[in-house]
Amino acid sequence: MPGGVNFSVYASDAQRVELLLYDDADAATPARRIDLSPAAHRTWHYWHVFVPGLRPGQLYAYAAHGPFDPARGLRFDGYKVLLDPYGRAVALPSAWSRAAGCTPGRNDAHAAKSVVADDSAYDWRGDAPLRRPFSQTVVYELHVRGFTRHPSSGLSTARAGTYAGLVDKIAYLLDLGVTAVELMPVFQFDPQDAPAGLTNYWGYAPVSFFAPHAGYARAAAAPLAVLDEFRDMVRALHAAGIEVILDVVYNHTAEGNEQGPTFGLRGLDNATYYLLEEGGRYANYSGCGNTLQANHPVVRRLILDSLHYWVQVMHVDGFRFDLAAILSRDKHGRPQPDAPVLWDIESDPVLAGTKLIAEAWDAAGLVQVGHFIGERWKEWNGRFRDDVRSFVRGDAGMVTQLADRLLGSPDLYGARPREPAQSINFVTSHDGFTLHDLVAYETPRNEANLEDNRDGSRDNHSWNCGAEGETDDAQVRALRDRQVRNLLAITVLSLGTPMLAMGDEMGRTQRGNNNAYCHDAPWNWLDWSRLPHQAGLHRFVRELVALRNLRESVREDHRLTLAELMRLVRVQLHGTRLGAPDTSAASRSLAVTASSLSGDLLMHFALNAQAQALDFELPPLPALALGPWRRVLDTSYDPPQDLHAVRHVQDIDAAPLAPGPHYRVQGRSVVALFVRVGSAAPRTASAVAGPAAPDQGRRMS
């Protein structure tokens, strides 16, 4: 405010609060202490003071005094420097120390400080969130540092691994065809929250819900410049038509369990901010030591205010909520069917045009995939990931599940008014094997994590194609390449919103580590030198996304729900014989025929997960077909014959012919045949030829 700064902090059980002002981040003592008296500076549970003469850039923190009684949930320590939960920027000392927050005594020289910032001090030049429909969205999950940090990125040392470095790769993202980047956590986090000698690289260890991570900025030591660099990145991505989705962590903090450090919330109001069990122990539904009490009114307000800030001030387009199922838990840790914080987010007018994506499970076994609260939330579809992996691997009894995943998971989302893009379809993400490793390893190689290879998921649905790890066997390598393209084709062309993981399009590997959260190292960064060696795979992904975008452009009114869409356009399921899908346990094949909603395209997909080739009957063409079936996709072919480039509907006519009445689908292959249909074709199921039994019919676009 003019003439100074107003400070306010919630600390309901504190007996005394101090505002600490610092001259620099490394200061061992405050330059000024302002003692907040209960009589003059406390209103209900808020401690507040106006300090004239202060300006943006001022470093500050709090000290809260009160009883230390963990059994009652009280953990006050007046010696500890506490971050402002609403601080817009964070200044890090050169000797930042997690350990200093755990041990007795003062930690000023080792503690992060909050920084006064002016929210309006940036020229957005007319920028605003893009609000692209989910039906037109292709998500690319990436790590801001890891995306460009490797020397092979071609960026200068100053820009590599930064928000600015991401801007330098916008042309690459546009060429790939993605429309949204989903950034792994960019809230300021504790890089020391990792096994001794390692680094928390992923960032799921927040210490602030408002400040962007300073370590991703060129000027990390200049907190206000960090804000500008983040906003420069958002503005540049928007100018290119790419949305920014943040992976947000509102389920726990870096303060950890009873042995963890005191950074802020624990020292201000431990019993308000955290779920506590008997004896004051921290409930651990996050797997990270503590769990935020998200449905407490004060914490609910903190979460909403944080979301508002990132949308209104930082202009982001959406959020992916880490372990979102935790947010449904009440003060006793029990899931609630109508969790207040989730309804707050669902119904909030500021967030009305914002993308909301839930990771609809938590680390304690609560799974809400398919029935997450509300109407707006999209979901990371873990069922899609596991079922598609299992089918492509060749598991028995997966045909029925695969059909549901191809058609937008109507078994999960068809009963409620959900748009077809409800399901976020993915087979890989930051969490688990990369796509290259998924077809090269059956056992995680996590020894480098210093947990005796006991961490990371054991249930990966992976298959090494005949040899564990890297191999020179040409047949194994060829099979792996085909399996990678099979997984990508299903992910991108299935009904739903596709998500790709950073570097899968160029065969990125983590050497079999499926939990590489603690390695800020070259082998864990995106190695751009792989790109020329994986030109065929990169082209495949680029043209696959283009094909998907073409299909979306002619088929979908994004206002339709999944159920409405299924009523409008007939989908037929087949096996090797038309109209006769084989759903037995022994079956490993499926075919699907569908028309676009507009009737301009007829599409036939055939999937064969067994080792031997199969002959699939082809549907007869409708009377208005503009030619024969054309082979647009066949993963059994070597690049570039595996996928015909289709950027316009007319390009289909140049694809190789696929004359009927059968098409031989090679073992472990995915095929897509297309034909254009004349403009007089109706927008109904009659555009699809051939009979379908009532229990075999599916409807999709």
Note whether 384 and 504 are same-domain residues. yes
Confidence of residue 84 (pLDDT cuts 50, 70, 90): very high
Domain carrying residue 141: 134-552
Sequence length of the chain is: 701
Q: What is the CATH number of the domain that holds 33?
A: 2.60.40.10
Measured distance CA(480)–CA(434) in Å, rounded: 13
Same domain, 543 and 571: no
Last residue of a domain, one of 115, 143, 172: 115
pLDDT of 691 above 70: no
Same domain? 281 vs 417: yes
Would you give the DSSP letter of residue 691? -
Which pLDDT score is estimated for 699?
Answer: 24
Is 177 contained in some domain? yes
Tens digits of residue pLDDT in 614-648: 999 999 999 999 999 999 999 999 999 999 999 99
Active-site annotation holder among 141, 317, 344, 359? 359
Kindly state whether residue 127 falls inside one of the protein's structural domains. Answer: no
Residue 443 lies in a domain: yes
pLDDT of residue 567: 66
Statement: residue 545 has pLDDT above 90: yes
Are 49 and 7 spatial neighbours (Cβ–Cβ below 8 Å)?
Answer: yes
For the segment 61-76, what is each residue's pLDDT rounded down to a tens digit? 999 999 999 999 999 9
Q: Which pLDDT belongs to residue 619?
A: 96
Q: Tokens 């995106």 label which residue?
A: 526
CA 255 to chain centre: 23
pLDDT digits (tens, 9 = 90+) for 572-593: 999 999 999 999 999 999 999 9
124 lies in a domain?
A: no
Asked if residue 642 and residue 515 are part of one domain, the reply reads: no
- Whether 165 shows a pLDDT value over 60: the answer reads yes
How large is the average pLDDT for residues 169-173?
Answer: 98
Residues 504 and 598 in one domain: no
pLDDT of residue 688: 35
- pLDDT, mean of residues 142-170: 98
Is 447 an active-site residue?
no
Question: How many Å apart are CA 384 and CA 427, to the nearest integer?
Answer: 7
Same domain, yes or no, for 334 and 205? yes
Question: 682 falls in which pLDDT band (50, 70, 90)?
Answer: very low
Confidence at 550, pLDDT banded by 50, 70, 90? confident
User: Which residue type, as a one-letter code, is found at position 168?
Assistant: D
Q: What is the CATH number of the domain that holds 208?
A: 3.20.20.80
Q: Does residue 189 form part of some domain?
A: yes
Predicted pLDDT at 206: 98
Residue 290 lies in a domain: yes
The Cα–Cα gap between 264 and 60 comes to 13
Following CA atoms 199, 203, 204, 207 in sequence, which dihedral angle do they give, to the nearest 10 degrees?
100
Report the 3 state secondary structure along 150-182. CHHHCCCCCCCCCHHHHHHCHHHHHHHCCCEEE
* Dist. CA 651–CA 660, nearest whole Å: 21
CA nearest neighbour of 216 among 204, 233, 237 = 233
Tell me which of 518, 552, 586 is where a domain ends.
552
pLDDT at 660: 81
pLDDT tens, residue by residue, 477-512: 999 999 999 999 999 999 999 999 999 999 999 999
Q: What is the pLDDT of residue 538?
A: 98
Q: Which of 348-357, 419-428, 451-460, 671-680 has the lowest mean pLDDT?
A: 671-680
Given this model, what pLDDT does residue 571 score? 86
pLDDT of residue 597: 74
Asked if 425 contacts 494 with a C-beta cutoff of 8 angstroms, the reply is yes
Residues 623 and 638 grouped into a single domain: yes
Alpha helices in 240-380 (DSSP H): 265-273, 297-312, 340-347
For residues 307 and 271, state if they share a domain: yes
Residue 598 pLDDT greater than 90, yes or no: no
- pLDDT tens-digit readout, 368-405: 999 999 989 999 999 999 999 999 999 999 999 999 99
Confidence of residue 552 (pLDDT cuts 50, 70, 90): low
Strand partners, 42: 47
Structural domain contains residue 151: yes
Residues 225 and 333 occupy one common structural domain: yes
The domain boundary, picked from 488, 517, 552, lies at: 552
> What residue type is 413 in one-letter code?
Y
Q: Read off the pLDDT of each residue in 74-102 and give the average, rounded to a whole number.
A: 97
Residues 77 and 200 in one domain: no
Please, which pLDDT band fits residue 697 given cuts at 50, 70 and 90?
Answer: very low
* Number of domains, the chain: 3
The radius of gyration of the chain's CA atoms, rounded to the nearest angstrom, is 27
Q: What number is the average pLDDT over the span 133-158?
A: 97
237 and 270 inside one domain: yes
Q: Which two tokens stand for residue 316?
A: 């982001």
Residue of 322, 387, 419, 617 marked active site: 322
What is the per-residue pLDDT for 559? 63
348 catalytically annotated: no
pLDDT at residue 419 in the model: 85
Measuring CA to CA, which residue among 520, 511, 510 is closest to residue 193? 520
Specify if 129 maps to a domain. Answer: no
Q: How far apart are CA 283 and CA 601, in angstroms?
A: 53
Residue 606 has pLDDT above 70, yes or no: yes
Cβ-contact 655, 700 below 8 angstroms: no
The strand pairing partners of 48, in sequence order, are 8
| Degrees to nearest 5, angle at CA 510 with 509 and 516 | 150
Mean pLDDT of the chain: 94
pLDDT reported for residue 694: 29
d(CA 603, CA 601): 6
> What pLDDT is recorded for position 569?
62
pLDDT of residue 556: 45
The CATH number linked to 676 is 2.60.40.1180
CA-to-CA distance for 62 and 299, rounded, in angstroms?
19
pLDDT of residue 685: 35
Confidence band of 151 (pLDDT split at 50, 70, 90): very high
Q: Rounded to two decimals, what is the model's pTM? A: 0.95
Q: Is the peptide bond before 694 cis (omega within 30 degrees of 0)?
A: no
Same domain, 332 and 404: yes
The per-residue pLDDT for range 103-131, each reduced to its tens digit, is 999 999 999 999 999 999 999 999 999 99
